[in-house]
Amino acid sequence: MADKRSKQKSKYTLDRQIPGAFEGETITRRRFMTGSANAAGIVAASAIVLPALGFAVGPIFKGTVHPWETVGTVDMFPDNNYIPVVITLSPNIGEAGKSTAYVRKYNPAIDTDPYDQSTPYIAISSRCAHVGCPVRWVDASERFICPCHGGVYDLLGRRVGGPPVRPLDRFYTRVVGEDVQLGGRFSVNSELRRFSPRDPGQALDGIGQYLYPSRPSAPKSS
Amino acid sequence: MPKVPKTPAPPLPGPLRESPPRPGSANGNTIAEDAAQAGIAVVDWVDERTSLSGGARWLMFRKVPKGTNWFYTLGSATMFAFLSQAVTGVFLAMYYRPDPAGGAYESIRYVTNDVFLGQFVRGMHKWGSSVMVVLVFLHMGRTFFFGAYKYPRELNWVIGVVLLILTMTMSFTGYLLPFDQRAYWATVVGVNINGTGPLIGPYLSDFLRGGSEFGATTLSRFYAIHMLLVPGALIALIGAHLYLVAKLGTTAPPWQKAEPRAELNEAEV
């Protein structure tokens, strides 16, 4: 068998004694037909599967812009306590698209971290950094407390107890005239260093920021 | 005891004897016999063109090992639970509206409170899902403790594990559809748990939500996965699962001792 093969090494079908071979032909017409039928099948299948797949996974790569939203006036917010405001994270779906943020004025005595220097207001997201339940600010204990699994955060939103893996997320703030506006969300690590918005449960300290990379779809401030 | 040849039965008394066919009737059959003949003819007509009866016999009339017991019905019970889910799900889909701005909750409320037997059918679907999950695990436990996953049935175990994962996916995606507070927060938590997987987690949760936030398409996404994508895969894999069961046969329970065949025993001397 091996001998027979080595004898038929010529690339021309005519030399390989194939019946009906043409002069200068290097591939049999049967092989060519099989290959082109398979190729046509692959093209046809891809024409269906690829758009469907792209359609399904497209939202992963679609960038979104979070618009600025007015949540109150400058005299509404004290600098030592939080005022809850309702903001819209996803428009057009009613209550399901709304969320609560806790807002207070920037206080140089409390907000000593270098990353807070430029922000006029501190706006803390109520989304727990464990698995996303809504935390509430408990005035008496000066803590954010999560009802689901007992996550506890301090005045700056840093974790002091329970399962959360990073501090509470924040929103960019700005003042336009007399209005306080909230922009896009950002995440912070335990030193309150800013990162692009992550989902709950994704750590940002140490190796965490590499295990949970920033996503193209993360909403950016306009 | 020597066999005694049987004497022929005595002739029936006159009134009990079958009367001969009426003169002039076509074949002398009763209507019931004609109907049975027609049914057989239809089955024969189909069978002659498809040879389905051979496959049906192959599937249904298999030899089962000695010791087969009620635990062996757990797989069929799971399949029945799935069929029940499929049927009730189809009817629920006639009323359900995957509209996150209030329409979804309202359509579920309408099914539960206003539709004739709606509460019953929805209840079957809701409780049936738990029944199916429980049965899946019991079936898995039976397979494990009876050693029925061993050669040559490993592939069927693997298919079964995929079916388990798909069943869990059905439970997860179906949980959101009533779109009440419990459904919403359970899904938020579930999606974020998916997001904690390293490297691909963030993209996985984006895929589930259809974006970076729980948005307008999340509910319809879950609905499509729940009623089109996963059921199709479930049906295909249940078919493969059943085929392998019929092909390979079932196992005897582990306490069943093999009985050597009498003719293979060495003659005592």
Do A46 and A123 lie in a common domain? Answer: no
Between positions 173 and 192 of B, the ones with CB within 8 A of A are: 179, 184-185, 188-189, 191-192
CB A181 within 8 A of CB A71: yes
CA A43 vs CA A29, A50, A145: distances in Å: 21, 10, 55
Choose from B187, B196, B219 for mutation: most chain A CBs within 10 A: B196
Identify the domain containing residue A212 by its residue range: 65-221
Choose from B184, B199, B212 for mutation: most chain A CBs within 10 A: B212
**Mean pLDDT in order along chain A per 10 residues (222 residues):** 59 83 86 96 97 90 88 92 93 87 91 79 94 94 94 94 95 92 92 92 92 86 68
Between positions 102 and 161 of A, the ones with CB within 8 A of B are: 131-133, 148
Residue-level pLDDT at A158: 94
- Would you write out chain B's pLDDT as a tens digit for each of its 269 residues? 677 788 888 788 877 787 776 666 666 567 888 888 899 999 999 999 999 999 999 998 999 999 999 999 999 999 999 999 999 999 999 999 999 888 999 999 999 999 999 999 999 999 999 999 999 999 999 999 999 999 999 999 999 999 999 999 999 999 999 999 999 999 999 999 999 999 999 999 999 998 888 888 899 999 999 999 999 999 999 999 999 999 999 999 999 888 777 777 666 65
Do A113 and A174 lie in a common domain? Answer: yes
As a whole number of angstroms, the distance between CA A123 and CA A125 comes to 7
Do A55 and A80 lie in a common domain? Answer: no
| Secondary structure letter of residue B211 according to DSSP | S
- Establish if B106 touches chain A: CB-CB under 8 angstroms: no
Q: Which two tokens stand for residue B194?
A: 């998916």
Q: Minimal Cα–Cα distance from A189 to chain B, Å?
A: 16
Across the interface, whether the CB atoms of B198 and A218 are under 8 A apart is answered no
Q: Minimal Cα–Cα distance from B247 to chain A, Å?
A: 32
Chain A residues whose CB is inside 8 A of the B192 CB are 131-132, 199-201
Chain A residues whose CB is inside 8 A of the B209 CB are 59
* DSSP annotation string for B101-156: TTHHHHHHHHHHHTSTTHHHHHHHHHHHHHHHHHHHHHHHHHHHHTTTTSTT-HHH
| Beta pairing, strands A65-66 & A220-221 | parallel
- Establish if B82 touches chain A: CB-CB under 8 angstroms: no
Question: What's phi and psi for A102, nearest 5 deg?
Answer: -105, 125
Closest-CA residue of chain A to B229: A56
Across the interface, whether the CB atoms of B100 and A132 are under 8 A apart is answered no
Across the interface, whether the CB atoms of A199 and B202 are under 8 A apart is answered yes
CB A90 within 8 A of CB B213: yes
Do A19 and A80 lie in a common domain? Answer: no
- Establish if B200 touches chain A: CB-CB under 8 angstroms: no
Q: Which two tokens stand for residue A207?
A: 């190796």
- What domains does chain B contain, in order, with CATH numbers? 72-248 (1.20.810.10)
Do A49 and A71 lie in a common domain? Answer: no
Residue-level pLDDT at B216: 82
Residue-level pLDDT at A68: 93
Closest-CA residue of chain B to A132: B189
Residue-level pLDDT at B160: 98
Neighbours of A59 (CB within 10 A): 20
Name all contacts of B116-125 with Cβ < 8 Å and 24+ positions apart: B121/B88, B121/B91, B121/B92, B122/B88, B122/B92, B124/B84, B124/B88, B125/B85, B125/B88, B125/B89, B125/B92
Q: Residue A100 maps to which CATH number?
A: 2.102.10.10
Chain A residues whose CB is inside 8 A of the B102 CB are 94
Residue-level pLDDT at A1: 47
User: What is the ipTM for the molecules in this complex?
Assistant: 0.83
pLDDT tens string B56-74: 999 989 999 999 999 999 9
Of the candidates B206, B71, B240, B62, the residue with the CA atom closest to the CA atom of residue A198? B206
Chain A residues whose CB is inside 8 A of the B217 CB are 59
As a whole number of angstroms, the distance between CA B74 and CA B82 comes to 12
Give chain A's domain count. 2
Do A104 and A170 lie in a common domain? Answer: yes
Measure CB to CB from residue B206 to each of A59, A93, A131 and give the nearest one: A59
Last residue of a domain, one of A12, A44, A61: A61
- Establish if B216 touches chain A: CB-CB under 8 angstroms: yes
Closest-CA residue of chain A to B222: A56
Last residue of a domain, one of A31, A61, A91: A61
Residue-level pLDDT at A6: 56
Last residue of a domain, one of A15, A44, A61: A61
Neighbours of A159 (CB within 10 A): 20
Choose from B191, B192, B193 for mutation: most chain A CBs within 10 A: B192
Do A106 and A206 lie in a common domain? Answer: yes
- Establish if A217 touches chain B: CB-CB under 8 angstroms: yes
Question: What's phi and psi for A146, nearest 5 deg?
Answer: -100, 130
Do A91 and A194 lie in a common domain? Answer: yes
Neighbours of B233 (CB within 10 A): 15
Do A190 and A93 lie in a common domain? Answer: yes
Chain A residues whose CB is inside 8 A of the B206 CB are 59-60, 215, 217
What is the percent of chain A where pLDDT is above 90? Answer: 63
Q: What is the pTM of this model?
A: 0.84
- Residue by residue, what is the 3-state secondary structure of chain A? CHHHHHHCCCCCCCCCCCCCCCCCCCCCHHHHHHHHHHHHHHHHHHHHHHHHHHHHHHHHHCCCEECCEEEEEHHHCCCCCCEEEEEECCCCCHHHHEEEEEEEECCCCCCCCHHHCCCCEEEEECECCCCCCECEEECCCCEEECCCCCCEECCCCCEEECCCCCCCCEEEEEEECCEEEEEEEEEECCCCCEECCCCCCCCCCCCHHHHCCCCCCCCEEC
Across the interface, whether the CB atoms of B212 and A131 are under 8 A apart is answered no
- Establish if A201 touches chain B: CB-CB under 8 angstroms: yes
Do A80 and A170 lie in a common domain? Answer: yes
pLDDT tens string B156-186: 999 999 999 999 999 999 999 999 999 999 9
Residue-level pLDDT at B1: 62
Of the candidates B155, B154, B177, B160, the residue with the CA atom closest to the CA atom of residue B107? B177
Measure CB to CB from residue A200 to each of B192, B199, B216 and give the nearest one: B192
Do A81 and A139 lie in a common domain? Answer: yes
Do A72 and A163 lie in a common domain? Answer: yes
